[in-house]
Each structure stands twice: as C-alpha cells, then as structure tokens.
Amino acid sequence: MTDDALLDREPLLRGNLMAAACPSREVLQHVTSRWGVLVLVALLGGGTQRFSELRRRIGGVSERMLAQTLQWLEADGFVQRTAHPVVPPHVDYQLTRLGREVAGHVRELADWIEGKMPAIQRERQRRLEAVAAPAAAKTRRARVAERA
C-alpha cells in the first residue's frame, strides 16, 4: 500500500508536510495564507470580535476573503464561530485553545518580520541596485553603439 493510501485510511499521529497527500499541507496553507496570518493575529490581540470589527482591523481584506478565511480556520479548529439568535444577525469569532496556540507562533513570526524590516528593506534595495546597474550599463552601451 502506498503512503498516500495509508494517509486516507488511518488517522494521523503526526503530519508530514513533505508528503504530497498529507492534510497538514492544507492546514499550513490556511494558517500561513496572507489573510490567515492576519486573522489569527487580530483575534489573538482582540479577543472575541464580530465580522465587521475584524474587517476594520485587517486593512484591505474583502468581505468574501475574510468569510472564506474564517471558514477555513473554523474547519481546522482554530476559530470558534458563535451565532446569536437575534435580528439582525450577530456572529462572534474567537480563537479556540488550539487557535491561541497557533496564533502565538504566527505572532512571533510577524513580530520577527516587523523587527527585521529595516534589514529586509536594505537587502531589497541592495538587490534592486545590483540588478539595475548591469541593465543601465547595457542601455548606455546600446546608445553609444547607435551613435557610432
């Protein structure tokens, strides 16, 4: 029996991200997606929040993407959705125990990135200049050749 077939039949004791059919890849995609990271960090810092509050906190996210991301994170057991039986509808979102754990790790990564932004920006600029210099020299040589 292949490893992929075993993954379909037996409960996992531990995921294997390197296995093509491992469901942990899908969870990793949900957690580390552009909006997944931001939703987890927003919920970690804000406790229970309504959809509209999350949307305001997370600049640039569309209603559709926020709804989809919340559904993924809820299905993975990271977010708890509570719908209150009132009119108009009132729905709250909060992290589960598992969600707080993963959000803590994601927050550490986000903090590291934010703290390293000056170094990252310097590297980006250095790379941009390294790529631009040969292109500029090639353009100058082409202009000189045209005049000759």
**More confident of the two residues 30 and 18:** 30
* Non-local CB neighbours of 92 within 8 Å, separated by 6+ positions: 48, 49, 50, 81, 82, 84
Joined tokens for residue 142: 């082409």
Domains of the chain: 33-147 (1.10.10.10)
| Segment 90-102, tens digit of pLDDT | 999 999 999 999 9
Q: For residues 29 and 20, is the Cβ–Cβ distance under 8 A?
A: no
Query: Which pLDDT band holds residue 20 (cuts at 50, 70, 90)?
Result: confident
pLDDT of 78 reads 98
The pair phi, psi for residue 12, each rounded to 5°, is: -80, 135
Within a 10 A sphere around the Cβ of 26, how many other Cβ atoms?
13
pLDDT in tens, 57-77: 999 999 999 999 999 999 999
Whether residue 30 contacts residue 72, with contact meaning beta carbons closer than 8 Å, is answered with: yes
Residue 1 has what pLDDT?
A: 41
| pTM for this prediction | 0.78
